[in-house]
Amino acid sequence: MDVTIVDYNSGNISSVINSFKEVAQDKVNIEVTSDLNKIKSSDKVVLPGQGSFKSCVDALNKIDGLTDTLNEFAITYKKPLLGICVGLQMFADIGYEETETKGLGWISGKVLKIDNQNRKFKLPHIGWNQINIVKESKIFKNIENNSHMYFVHSYEFIPKDKNVISSTTDYSSNIVCSVEKENIFGTQFHPEKSDKLGLQIIKNFLNL
Q: Which of 85, 97, 125, 177 is catalytic?
A: 85
- Tell me whether residue 190 is one of the annotated catalytic residues: yes
- Tell me whether residue 85 is one of the annotated catalytic residues: yes
Asked if 13 and 51 touch (Cβ cutoff 8 Å), the reply is no
Distance separating alpha carbons of residues 179 and 185, to the nearest angstrom: 6
CATH code of 57's domain: 3.40.50.880
- Tell me whether residue 125 is one of the annotated catalytic residues: no
Q: Identify the DSSP state of 73.
A: I
pTM of the model: 0.97
Report how many domains make up the chain.
Answer: 1
pLDDT in tens, 113-141: 999 888 889 999 999 999 999 999 999 99
What range defines the domain where residue 45 resides? 2-206
Distance separating alpha carbons of residues 36 and 70, to the nearest angstrom: 9
Q: Between vectors from CA 94 to CA 100 and to CA 165, what angle results, nearest 5°?
A: 145
26: confidence class by pLDDT, cuts 50, 70, 90: confident
Residue 83 CA to chain centroid, in angstroms?
Answer: 3
pLDDT in tens, 81-115: 999 999 999 999 999 999 999 999 999 999 999 99
